[in-house]
Amino acid sequence: MKQSLILVGTQWGDEGKGKIVDFYSKKFEAVCRFQGGHNAGHTIYKEDEKFVLHLIPSGIFYDHVSCFIGQGVILSIESLLEEIKQLEEKGIELEGKLRISRYCSLLLPLHAKIDQLREDNKNSIGTTRRGIGPAYEDKTARRSIKAFDLEDNDLLEHKLRSLVEYYNFQIQNIHDAEPFRYEDVYKELVDSYNQASKYFGDVTDTLESIYEEGGNILYEGAQGTLLDVDYGTYPYVTSSNTLATSVGIGSGFPRSIYSDVLGIAKAYTTRVGAGPFPTELFCEEGEKIAKLGHEFGATTGRPRRCGWLDLVALRYSAKLNNLTELCITKLDVLDSFEQIKVCTEYEVDNKKTSFKSRLLHKVKPVYKSFEGWNCSLEECKNYAELPDKAKEFLEFIEDFVGVKISLISNGPNREDLIHR
């Protein structure tokens, strides 16, 4: 076991990463987010209470864990403050436990407005409407407001004025909507920063010190491999690199790339928003998965599209992330299915093709069927107690993908986890 572990989603997000990070956090000194923003929604049940975290790492519930938000994250201070408030109301103290990179690019309410206006047009891709795309565009176009810009008011005013002008040009000429008032944008930003300023600092140096002293670090990925801006189903993707390899950039701590990599996959597949989804089900079986799996977005509440497990996609993700282990979540959702399928091949016009096919939206999945185990997995506490049919299903996945399944989640609660 290496000194650090990267945990990534291997599908289109919503694989149940929050619960797994929460489980691993017990064994780590630090947990760090390295990409994405408050488009993520990591659900954790703690003593029957449900928490949904969007920005703050899921390790926050343990007193011994220091939580970090690296500079690869696009930061909405507004959303951060709401989350802090929610946690503090439940008695969870954050001061001294949470550190955010002062080099993070900020996501402002104007980014969310632009995202919403774009999504209301006909070329919608079904974003979370939170401003992630516009905020990452600003970062790449070198016009972001960085958290540390708020330490210098003259610099801030200069940069913020140009940013507001830039968006007002778009908003008036493309969207025919009300322009932003510079004074409002400025005031809102400064007020929220002042409330959060104590959490900003240097993440890279702190991670390095923890590591040098022998501390271990858990990197918490958000979204999923198939939403990666380079390797996902472009343009139906998010705007960040979600792969394990982006951890070095997003944390600023290059040794993080020499970590073990745990990939999380649901026992079936879901997707929110538009874009190709080869194993999507448009029948009662799909509705049954959605109902039993409570497949509604943690961030937006949107119903998720559901389908069988896609092993072609999972093998692609395993390679891209160089997975060292696999965790299968929500296996219990399949408890009452007579037949369970997995996709092992794609075909277009009777020819085999890969996940990278330009015709992904047209591929026909080729399935392998398994007899369902038809009983509740709730009481299973270890791998030996799982029904043989469930083991057969899991071992097929493992052989096909070529990565060992080390963890299986068989229910929503913290303790519903089987180690192998």
Footprint of ligand IMP on this chain (CB under 6 A)? 12-14, 39-41, 125-128, 130, 132-133, 222-223, 227, 236, 238-239, 272-273
Active site residue 175: no
* Dist. CA 317–CA 304, nearest whole Å: 20
Of residues 119 and 287, the one with the C-beta less far from ligand IMP = 119
Which stretch of DSSP H or E encloses residue 290? Answer: helix 284-292
* Dist. CA 100–CA 77, nearest whole Å: 11
Query: Which residue in the list 38, 42, 54, 111 is annotated as catalytic?
Result: 42
Residue 88 CB, nearest approach to ligand IMP (Å): 24
Cβ atoms of 164 and 185 closer than 8 Å: yes
Residue 394 CB, nearest approach to ligand IMP (Å): 24
Of residues 14 and 83, the one with the C-beta less far from ligand IMP = 14
Of residues 132 and 401, the one with the C-beta less far from ligand IMP = 132
By residue count, the chain amounts to 420
Active site residue 349: no
Residue 250 CB, nearest approach to ligand IMP (Å): 15
Residue 301 CB, nearest approach to ligand IMP (Å): 12
Of residues 136 and 211, the one with the C-beta less far from ligand IMP = 136
* Dist. CA 103–CA 52, nearest whole Å: 25
Residue pointed to by tokens 């390899």: 245
| Strand 98-101 with 305-307, pairing | unpaired
Strands (E), 47-195: 49-53, 66-69, 74-75, 98-101, 105-106
Residue 146 CB, nearest approach to ligand IMP (Å): 20
Which stretch of DSSP H or E encloses residue 154? Answer: helix 153-173
Of residues 228 and 416, the one with the C-beta less far from ligand IMP = 228
Other beta carbons less than 10 A from residue 369's beta carbon: 11
| Strand 49-53 with 4-9, pairing | unpaired
Catalytically annotated residues: 14, 42
